[in-house]
Amino acid sequence: MSKNATVLNPKIDRRIRRTRDRLGDALVNLILQKPFETVTVQEVLDRAEVSRSTFYMHYRNKEDLFLSDVDEFWEGMATALARRSEASDRLAPVRELFGHVIEMPHLSRAMAASGRMHDVFELAEGHFARGIEQRLATSPRACRISLESRVPVAHALAGSLVSLLSWWIRHGMRESPARMDELYHSMAWTGVNSAINPGRASTRTLSKK
């Protein structure tokens, strides 16, 4: 998470960024070696070569360090399309996210080993919901979706993305990131179109009976 966070969230001062990166990398490496509960702040400090006073300037404890690192990662990933002003009709950087998981498998292992996957996925869903809502608001393809519908639809699509990612990891990541991006957006736009034209969707359903 930490190394990629430098690219995903460049707003933080470089010196602070380097310190946070070292602390995050140290914690991830320790989580892969021993249970999260047994990792101490001092072990993180020793591995990162950061002083205790510096650590507590940024974090309350190891849980705060872990979730802050995860939160930065999700925020950067969820806003990637908007930050680079991508003109496509993609709602989320699914291909990039799944590709990142393949390139850095130790990160997903560390998340799982932390025993805090519920918190990890909850953070992801929140960030992706906001990112997708922003994409829906600016997409010509979704211009007719009402504000009242946009928010719940964005949250539903974010939940679907997190669920798809979880399923993909559990099943060995056999499908390519490009294929998962295609699959996700096919399902996502079907849902968006149904939200735009709920009456038409109901009519089609009734006509099949």
Task: Report if residue 72 sits inside a domain.
Answer: no
Cβ atoms < 10 Å from Cβ of 197: 14
Mean pLDDT of 2-19: 64
Same domain, yes or no: 93 and 54: no
**Residue 3 sits in the same domain as residue 89:** no
At 71-94, the pLDDT tens digits run 999 999 999 999 999 999 999 999
Do residues 167 and 129 share a domain?
A: yes
| Contact by Cβ (8 Å): 194, 159 | no
83 in the same domain as 60: no
pLDDT at 144 over 80: yes
Residue 86 falls within a domain, yes or no?
Answer: yes
Indicate whether 151 and 102 sit together in one domain: yes
**Count of structural domains, the chain:** 2
Structural domain contains residue 99: yes
Residue 35 and residue 92 in one domain: no
Cβ(145)–Cβ(195) under 8 Å?
yes
Look at the chain and count its residues. 209
Token digits of residue 113:
């080993």
The CATH number covering residue 42 comes to 1.10.10.60
Q: Of residues 131 and 118, which shows the higher confidence score?
A: 131
- Domain range enclosing 132: 79-196
**180 and 87 share a domain?**
yes
State the pLDDT at residue 12.
Answer: 59
Span of 27-31, 79-83, 101-105, 153-157 with lowest mean pLDDT: 101-105
| pLDDT above 70: residue 24 | yes
If asked whether residues 183 and 85 sit together in one domain, one would say yes
Kindly state whether residues 87 and 185 are assigned to the same domain.
Answer: yes
73, 4 Cβ separation under 8 angstroms: yes
Domain assignment present for residue 209? The answer is no
Q: Note whether 105 and 161 are same-domain residues.
A: yes
Residues 92 and 169 in one domain: yes
| % of residues, the chain, pLDDT over 70 | 89
171 and 83 in a common domain: yes
Say yes or no to pLDDT of 1 above 70.
no
Tens digits of per-residue pLDDT, 175-199? Answer: 999 999 999 999 999 999 988 876 5
Return the CA Rg of the chain. 19
Q: How large is the average pLDDT for residues 17-29?
A: 93
Helices 105-113, 117-138: inter-axial angle, 10-degree rounding: 130
Does 132 reside within a domain?
Answer: yes
148 found inside a domain: yes
pLDDT for residue 206: 37
Residue 165, in any domain of the structure: yes
Highest mean pLDDT among 16-20, 91-95, 113-117: 91-95
Helix ranges (DSSP H) in 49-146: 52-58, 62-78, 80-83, 94-103, 105-113, 117-138
pLDDT in tens, 31-65: 989 989 999 999 999 999 999 999 999 999 999 99
